[in-house]
Amino acid sequence: MREMLEESKAAVAALVSAQTVAAASIAGRERHGDGGTQVLADAAGMSRRDAHSQVKTAETLGAVPAVREAVESGRVSQANARRL
């Protein structure tokens, strides 16, 4: 069971990353100007505030590939990544 929980943590992190990248891509094509915040909020059913936080975290991680990979693999939590 512990192994399954560890694997699911990495899967959730990868999904969060994929959602954010997709939302930013759509927002860029449609020229929303918010980095994907509204697209992510609408598509993922989250608050605009949470979506904005996720988008900003992804933007920050884009500049630090090693940390981004650690988040995507589940070794670093989204909460810890936000603190950057």
What pLDDT score was predicted for residue 47? 97
CA distance 64 to 60: 7
Instruction: Specify the pLDDT at position 40.
Output: 94
Looking at residue 46, its pLDDT comes to: 96
What is the number of other CB atoms lying within 10 angstroms of the CB of residue 63? 9
pTM of the model: 0.78
Provide the pLDDT for residue 49.
96
| Furthest CA-CA distance within the chain | 44
For the stretch 5-63, pLDDT in tens is 888 888 888 888 899 999 999 999 999 899 999 999 999 999 999 999 999 998 988 89
Note the Cα 30 to chain centre separation in Å.
Answer: 20
- Quote the CA–CA distance of 65 and 7 in Å, as a whole number: 21
Task: Provide the terminal-to-terminal Cα distance of the chain, rounded to the nearest Å.
Answer: 31
pLDDT at 6: 80
- Annotated domain spans of the chain: 2-82
